[in-house]
Amino acid sequence: MNARTTPPAERHPDTPVEPGAHVPFESTPMPVSAMAAWYPHGTVIAAHRHRRAQLLYAIEGVMHVESATGSWVVPPTRGVWLEPEIDHSVQMSGDVKMRTVFVEPGASAHLPTRSCVVEVHPLLRELILAAIDVPQDYTIGSRDDHLMQLLLAELNAVPLLPLYLPWPTDRRLRAVCDSLLAAPDDNRTITAWAATLGVSEKTFHRWFQRETGITFGRWRQQARLLLALKRLAHGEKIIAVAMDHGYTSQSAFAAMFKRHFGVVPSAFYA
């Protein structure tokens, strides 16, 4: 008989997730496994790595995932795909009911090769939830195996989303980025920021793009939108979020939001 592991999310909410709870899910000989966990608001999982690739998905709450090369904001209806052996930390905004799918390297040639945010459509969501109840030693050819193979097939075709913020390695540029994250309504021009570092606007522009792969203006735009997502997830008024993130009006914020995400702010979590 296959032994089933009680998912951490099914325990009393005040019970912390035990250190190393993920180990059995990574050591199983089966190519795909899934576990559940619950984390209270403000929890920070320190930087770590996994041998397997992961899909992190929260059925409630928002996750902020950081690596050395960038960060991702992951609201409900989205997940973050993490490539194997990538160092990352996770911060919880709101109480988070996390579901994690572990995928053995080489299980499929069509999975994302780089870490990214993905859309969790209704079918994928139900497959993730069902996978939590599958034992780690499921039998090849069984219903559980077919379910996990279908989950893997859906991960192969999952849409990738623009919810990534690349991070510079130079400490001076990181200081600029830290300032913008702390005060997203800061509308200083690129000329002003260049002056704080003692370089020309042209040098700053080339330097920032070389470090992050995108322009300074686009980086600030993405940072504002990703920070706004966290507040919108908690039901804050759109006008307040727009004003606090440097936009002159709710309509200007909504237009930029739709251009970036394809929907207006009020429809993003619908």
Kindly report the CATH class assigned to 8-161: mainly beta
**Cα–Cα distance between 66 and 85 in angstroms, integer?**
14
pLDDT at 235: 82
- Note the pTM of the prediction, 2 decimals: 0.72
Is residue 246 within 8 Å of 253, Cβ to Cβ?
no
- DSSP state, 122? H
At residue 13, the pLDDT reads 38
CATH 2.60.120.280 range(s) for the chain read: 8-161
The DSSP call for residue 158 is: P
pLDDT at 265: 87
- Residue in the block written with tokens 């920032």: 208
Which one-letter amino acid corresponds to residue 42?
G
Superfamily of domain 168-268: Homeodomain-like (1.10.10.60)
- Residue segments in the chain with a per-residue pLDDT below the cut of 70: 1-24, 270
Give the C-alpha separation, 256 to 184, whole Å.
Answer: 15
Enter the tokens of residue 134: 């599958």
Burial degree of 135 (CB within 10 A; 0-12, 13-18, 19+)? middle
CA dist list (Å): 153 to 25, 77, 158: 19, 18, 9
pLDDT at 1: 38
- pLDDT at residue number 20: 60
Give the per-residue pLDDT at 9: 41
Q: What is the number of helices (H) and of strands (E) in the chain?
A: 10, 9
Task: DSSP letter for 33, please.
Answer: E
Q: What is the pLDDT of residues 192-223, one digit of tens each?
A: 999 999 999 999 999 999 999 999 999 999 89
